[in-house]
Amino acid sequence: EAQVTQNPRYLITVTGKKLTVTCSQNMNHEYMSWYRQDPGLGLRQIYYSMNVEVTDKGDVPEGYKVSRKEKRNFPLILESPSPNQTSLYFCASRQGGPYNEQFFGPGTRLTVL
Amino acid sequence: QKEVEQDPGPLSVPEGAIVSLNCTYSNSAFQYFMWYRQYSRKGPELLMYTYSSGNKEDGRFTAQVDKSSKYISLFIRDSQPSDSATYLCAMSVRNGTSGTYKYIFGTGTRLKVLA
């Protein structure tokens, strides 16, 4: 089944404790992206990647890191999480042009205390 | 001012009604316009996309873009309870330096279709 998977689905952590949210897709898509979704602010792009070793900042990259060492994986790293990073995070992937469908993962709900 | 503005609703309509969802935007560089549907506790899924002014129809859904007014709409005909979800507009713009595309989403409109 074609899908985007994220792990963990739920995470409660404390300020300053480094964490990684993994994202993997099995569709051989070149483009992958991370978003956060907050009430009243909607879905905002954090980072995106056009291909292996090619990444670019979205609208809200501060406090996040990404890497794209393999085509299928695009982990999101929070080196020193803070409470304002409490949010619902989505990973997405697509193939081809910018109008092609982005396939979204199921989401990761992160709470930073 | 946000680049994309969308009324958050909620919008409640009776089954069978025609629903109109709208977004306005400020960046004339936006090239592609999309509508996503998001059910509760799920990731968004693409409904429709378009890149030119005018209408595009797909079944009960019609996407409309007016680039001169910087306004896009999604119409749902014969709405069903299964259409109850949050609808997000999205736009993409090319990064002139890197040639990549980034996406800007609206905040979403929550729709409830009453049986």
Per-residue pLDDT at A97 exceeds 90: no
- Per-residue model confidence (pLDDT) at position A101: 85
Distance CA A85, CA A87 (A): 6
CB contact under 8 A, B106 and A106: no
Q: If you ran DSSP here, which 8-state letter would residue B89 be given?
A: E
Question: Which of A12-21, A73-82, B46-55, B80-89 has the weakest average pLDDT?
Answer: B46-55
CB contact under 8 A, B92 and A99: yes
Here the tokens at position A97 are: 């042009």
Here the tokens at position B88 are: 């997000």
- Facing B100 at nearest CB: one of A56, A106, A107: A56
CB contact under 8 A, A90 and B88: no
- Per-residue model confidence (pLDDT) at position B101: 80
Q: Is residue B87 a contact partner of residue A26, using CB atoms and an 8 Å limit?
A: no
- Facing B95 at nearest CB: one of A40, A56, A101: A56
Distance CA A73, CA B62 (A): 35
Instruction: Name the pLDDT band for A1 (thresholds 50, 70, 90).
Output: confident
Burial class (CB in 10 A: 0-12, 13-18, 19+), A78: buried
Residues A28-39 pLDDT 10s: 999 999 999 998
Per-residue pLDDT at A96 exceeds 80: no
Here the tokens at position A111 are: 């709470």
